Amino acid sequence: MAPLSKAPQKKRRQRGAAYTETVVMLPFFIAVWTCMIYVHKAYSTKVHTMAYNRNCVMSYAFEACRTQAPGCSNRASPHTDAGERPGDLNGLQSMLGGLGNSLFGALMGQTTELRTTRNVAKPRLLGGGNTQALAGNSMMCNTERTTPASVFRQAFCSFIGIC
C-alpha cells in the first residue's frame, strides 16, 4: 500500500511547482506585454502622424500654397518661404525683406513645410509621462501662371504694403 500513497503526493508537488512558477513569471510577462503594447501604440501614432502631415503639406502645396485642406486644423499654419537658392542670395533676400521674399519666390518658387507632433502616453511601468511622435515635411508649392506684370505688382505691393 505504501507505493500507492506516494503517487498522489508526487502529483501535488508538481502542481505546487507549476503554481509557484506561474506566480514568479507573471510579473515578467506583464512587463513584457506592457512594453509591447506601448511600442505598438507609439509606432502606430508615428505612422498616423506622418501620413496626416504628408497629406496636409501635399494638399497645401497642390493648391499653390493658398488654402489649407479641410481637416488640416493645425495650430500653426504651414510656413511658406522662398525656394532653394544659392547661399549668397540669402543675405540679399533678408536685406530686401518682404520685397526680396516675393521677388525670389516668384523667380525660384515657394516651398512650404509643416511639423506635426502628437503625444503618446507612457505606461507607469516605464516611468509614466508622454513621448512625442514628430513628423515633418517640406515641399515645393505648385506654380501659378505669372506674367512679368504680376511679378512686378506683387513685388511693389510687398514693398509699399498697400494693395
Domain that holds residue 60: 15-68+75-160
97-126, pLDDT tens digit by residue? 666 666 666 666 677 888 889 999 999 888
Q: Which three cell numbers stand for residue 69?
A: 485642406
- How far apart (Å, rounded) are the C-alpha atoms in residues 88 and 162? 29
Neighbouring CB atoms inside 10 A of 15's CB total 10
Q: Does residue 9 form part of some domain?
A: no
* pLDDT confidence tier of residue 51, bands split at 50, 70 and 90: very high
Residue 56 resides in a domain: yes
Q: Does a structural domain hold residue 7?
A: no
pTM for this prediction: 0.60
Please report the beta strands in 77-156, taking only residues with DSSP state E, as ranges in sequence order: 79-82, 110-121, 130-140
Please report whether residue 121 resides in a domain.
yes
The dihedral built from the CA positions of residue 115, 118, 123 and 127, taken in this order, carries a sign that is positive
Residue 53's pLDDT band (boundaries 50, 70, 90)? Answer: very high
Q: Is the pLDDT of residue 32 over 90?
A: yes
Give yes or no for a contact between 163 and 157, defined as CB atoms under 8 angstroms apart.
Answer: yes
Tally of structural domains, the chain: 1
* DSSP code at position 126: G
In a domain, 2, yes or no: no
